[in-house]
Structure 1
Amino acid sequence: MLAHERIGEGPPLLLVHGLGHRRQAWYPVVDLLAPHREVILVDLPGHGQSPAFAPRGRSAKDYLRDELEAFHAELGLERPHVAGNSLGGLIALEAAVDGRASSVTALSPAGFWEDEQDFAYIERIFKTVVVAAGYSQHVAPILARTAPGRALMMSWAMAHPRRMSAEAAIGDLRSMLRARPALKNLLGQAYSFDPEGVPDDVRVTIAWGKRDYVLRTYQAGRARQLMPDATHVWLRGCGHVPMSDRPRLIANVLLEGSSGPLLAAAPLVAQVG
């Protein structure tokens, strides 16, 4: 079974982290969500404390779908609310297509890049981060003790890395290194999201950090163009991984996104600052 935690009470809300990350990425918002939702945090295959990434001949997309479907069955989840960041946002959107989500909230979701050249930029970022993590792993505990050191380690992903704890920064670096085989496989099989299969009765919220330098902000415009009936939210003061940048803002977006069925078919574009 995939490593996971269940915290809180209320309608189930499954939270899925991004590429190379881990379930602890959501810790900054858990205490704000738990009084209102049963929060389920999961480590994807090959990430965090979950078993190794082992597709056994399946495509990465099919493998992740099978693993998440089995995870839903093992936990007795029937169409929970699903939210995700980056790769996790793409997985959340795919869960809607597969009929396994009551609502979806995607924070800077993958799958909205423009072309191969655009994706090559994203791929270079992750490969560079992995190499840098490998070279710096022995000095990372020293770097992470200081705010400038945490900024050096994590500013590629967050707008305010100084707000992280040293423990969180070191844990994220080690998680990235452990996830290298999964990361290589997933980057090699990346694909664009096709929104055609999202059911009309699934509420979709797509939120994008205004300071996202990984999945650059023009992709939010592509998401709005491709999914005009979704709720589109700008996250001011937030980077690609926004949960520790502005925890209360992100918790509010997640609670609103999972608050019930979409009440109107007309596009609703929100500016959150």
Structure 2
Amino acid sequence: MSATVSFEVPTPRGPRTMNLAYTRVGTGEPLVLLHGIGHHRQVWDPVVPVLAVERDVICVDLPGCGESPALPGGLAYDLPTTTAVLGALCEALGLDRPHVAGNSLGGLLALQLGRDRLVRSVTALSPAGFWSQAERRYAFTVLMAMRQIARRMPPPVVEALARPAVGRTLLTSTIYARPGRRSPEAVVAETLALARAQGFSETLRSGREVRFTDTITGIPVTVAWGSRDRLLVPRQGIRAKYVLPKARLVRLPGCGHVPMNDDPALVARVLLDGSRSVATQTP
């Protein structure tokens, strides 16, 4: 069941009240899941049932995405602000340094939380921030095109396109390697989520100069990349390994940019392995 939590976030303009929507299910050590730009928390649905057997799984709608309202006026959609929001969210939910995993923008946010020592492990699936300028421009161009298409299509057209597998391929093949596996209902919901995401353009603008160049020490870090990622190409994973030499780099064969739907069993295993207790991590 969806829930909403309200909390205060410290900002340069003083404390501001923020609300975020989330779902929470399962038992075990807490694992927070963060989606990518313009997406929503339901993107994790294919892996949540497996994760919830061993983890207390918290799926979050980022500010201005899904059911979460936009950031309060005057707050920037940048990494420092969003990281502060997520830190305050964990405090509000009583999560003491949870495990965190993220995809794309969510992967970059997970790494930021790890750098700031706010979490006990990080698993990043095709994280943003390891691109060249040319690769970033390409990805942003594709994302803006996807957003414009989603905004221009009336919901009945989206629903009609999503029924056949070929229509789901047209709508989502940029992010899924196996778009036909995504249900029509899920494709409709995520297309509408992309069209309605507040702060989408501001987030892209704030990411123009973003590069993740910091090392992360003291916690386990896993970086996983789909071999068929068409948005953030797999060679960026090699760059991530250079920046984070102690990280575990995992290849996800046959998976696209959003791998949870392409191979749920593999991705769930990567997430569980990445979020084991520190004491049980292998060297």
CA contact (8 A) 2:151 2:196 kept: no
CA contact (8 A) 2:114 2:120 kept: yes
Q: Paired residues, what number? A: 260
Query: Which residue of structure 2 lines up, in the alignment, with residue 268 of structure 1?
Result: none
Aligned-pair CA distance for 1:55: 6.0
1:98-247 to 2 correspondence within 5 Å?
Answer: 98-115=116-133, 117-138=134-155, 139-179=157-197, 181-190=198-207, 191-196=210-215, 198-199=216-217, 201-247=218-264
Query: Which residue of structure 1 lines up, in the alignment, with residue 61 of structure 2?
Result: 43
Which residue type is aligned with residue 26 of structure 2? G
**Structure 1 moving runs of 4+ over 3 Å:** none
1:70 aligns with 2:88: yes
Query: Hey, what's the Cα distance between the residues in 2 that align with 1:55 and 1:234?
Result: 40
Aligned-pair CA distance for 1:258: 0.5
The two structures have a TM-score, normalised by structure 1, of 0.92
CA contact (8 A) 2:177 2:255 kept: yes
Query: Which residue of structure 2 lines up, in the alignment, with residue 254 of structure 1?
Result: 271
**CA, structure 1 residues 148+31, in 2 after alignment: closer, same or farther (shift >3 Å)?**
same
Query: Which residue of structure 2 lines up, in the alignment, with residue 61 of structure 1?
Result: 79
Query: Hey, what's the Cα distance between the residues in 2 that align with 1:206 and 1:55?
Result: 34
Query: Hey, what's the Cα distance between the residues in 1 that align with 2:26 and 2:75?
Result: 37
Cα RMSD after superposing both structures: 1.2
Query: Hey, what's the Cα distance between the residues in 1 that align with 2:38 and 2:111?
Result: 19
| Paired-residue identity, % | 44
Query: Hey, what's the Cα distance between the residues in 2 that align with 1:44 and 1:7?
Result: 18
Query: Hey, what's the Cα distance between the residues in 2 that align with 1:112 and 1:243?
Result: 21
CA contact (8 A) 2:77 2:202 kept: no
Query: Which residue of structure 2 lines up, in the alignment, with residue 86 of structure 1?
Result: 104
CA contact (8 A) 2:77 2:199 kept: no
Provide the secondary structure at the position in 2 that maps to 1:141.
helix
Which residue type is aligned with residue 266 of structure 2? L
